[in-house]
Amino acid sequence: MNDEHSTKTPGLSADEEQEIDESQPPRAAVLHEIIRAQGDQELERTLAALWWSALAAGLTMGLSLMAMGLLYSRLPDGETAQVIASFGYSAGFLAVILARQQLFTENTLTAVLPIMTTPTLANLGRLLRLWGVVLLGNLAGTLLVAWVMLELPIFDTKTDLAFLDVGRKVMENDIGQMFAKGIISGWMIATMVWMIPSMEHAKIGIIVLITYLMALGDFTHIVVGSVEVSYLVWAGEETWSTFWLHFALPTLAGNIIGGSFIFAIISHAQVRSDSGKAPSKLLDEAHPSTRKKH
C-alpha cells in the first residue's frame, strides 16, 4: 500500500484523487456486467414489445440503403464514390441504436452474456425466444421498407438504379464469402456494443466508425443486407430462394458466429478472473455516465 501511495503525484486533494478515479475507463469485468445486465433486461421483455421494436428497427434500417443510394446517384463513378457513399451505411445503425430499437446482431452479444454467466436450459430458451422474435421482426421490416422504396414514387430514376447497384454488389459474393464476411461483420458489431458503455460520450463516433468500415469492406450483415437484396427480389432481378439460400442463411450464420461464438466467448473468458465480485460491485466501478444510464 505504501508503494502505491509513493507513486502518486504529491499534493493532490481528496477531490482531485476522486476526479482521477472517476476518469479511469471501466475494467473489462465492468463492461461485461453492464452488457450482461442489458441482455438480461432484453430477455425479460414481452413478445409484443420485442416484436414491435424489432419491426421498427427493420424499417429504420432502410435508411442505410436510402442514404447510400442517394450518395451514389450524386457522385461521379469510381472508387471515390464508394469511399464517400459508405458513410451512408451508418445512417440506419445510428437511428436504430440511438432509438434503442431491437437489432438482431446487437443481441448476438448482449443477450448471450447472461447465458454464458448462468448456462441453464431456461436461459437458453429465453435466448432462442428473443433471437426468433427479433430476427423475424427485423426481416419483416426490411422486406417492407424495400418494397416501399421500390414501388412508391419517392426517388428519381438515377437513385433507383443506385439502389439496384448496391444490392447487386452484395450478390456478387458466393455463399462462402457471404458466410466469411458475415463473421467479420458480427464480430465488428459486437466490438461496437462492447465499446459503447465505456465511451458513452463518443457513442455516435463509435457507431459511424465501425459501420463505415463494414461498408467499406463490403462485409455482409443480415439486416442491412436484407434491405439491399430484397430490393432486387421485389424488382424481379433475384428470386426468394436465392435471397434465403445464397444470402440470408450464410450471412446469418456468420453474424451469429462472429458475435456470439467468437467475440462473446472471448470477452466472457477475459473477465472470469473478476467473477468473484458481485454484479452490483462491478456496476459501481463503471464510468459515471455509464452508471447514470443504468
Residues 6+ apart with CB under 8 A from 48: none
Judged by DSSP in three states, 277 sits in: coil
| Residue 71 resides in a domain | yes
Count CA within 13 A, CB hemisphere, residue 158: 8
Q: Give CA–CA dist 93/217, Å, rounded.
A: 16
Residue 26 CB coordination number (10 Å)? 19
- The domain that holds 65 is classified in CATH as 1.20.1080.10
279 band by pLDDT with thresholds 50, 70 and 90: very low
Residue 160 forms part of a structural domain: yes
For residue 170, what is the enclosing H or E element?
helix 157-171
- 194 is in which domain, residue-wise? 26-293
Q: Tell me if 18 is assigned to some domain.
A: no
Does residue 219 contact residue 181 with C-beta atoms inside 8 Å? yes
Helix (H) or strand (E) holding 223: helix 222-234
pLDDT band at 199 (very low <50, low <70, confident <90, very high): confident
Would 133 be classed as within a structural domain?
A: yes
Give the integer Cα–Cα distance in Å for 161 and 69: 8
Report yes or no on 168 lying in a domain.
yes
pTM of the full predicted structure?
0.83
In a domain, residue 181? The reply is yes
Phi, psi of 249, deg, nearest 5: -65, -50
In angstroms, the CA 202 to CA 187 distance is 20
- Give the DSSP H or E segment for 222: helix 222-234
Write out pLDDT tens, residues 219-274: 999 999 999 999 999 999 999 999 999 999 999 999 999 988 877 777 667 666 55
Q: How many domains does the chain have?
A: 1
Segment 28-49, tens digit of pLDDT: 667 777 788 888 888 889 999 9
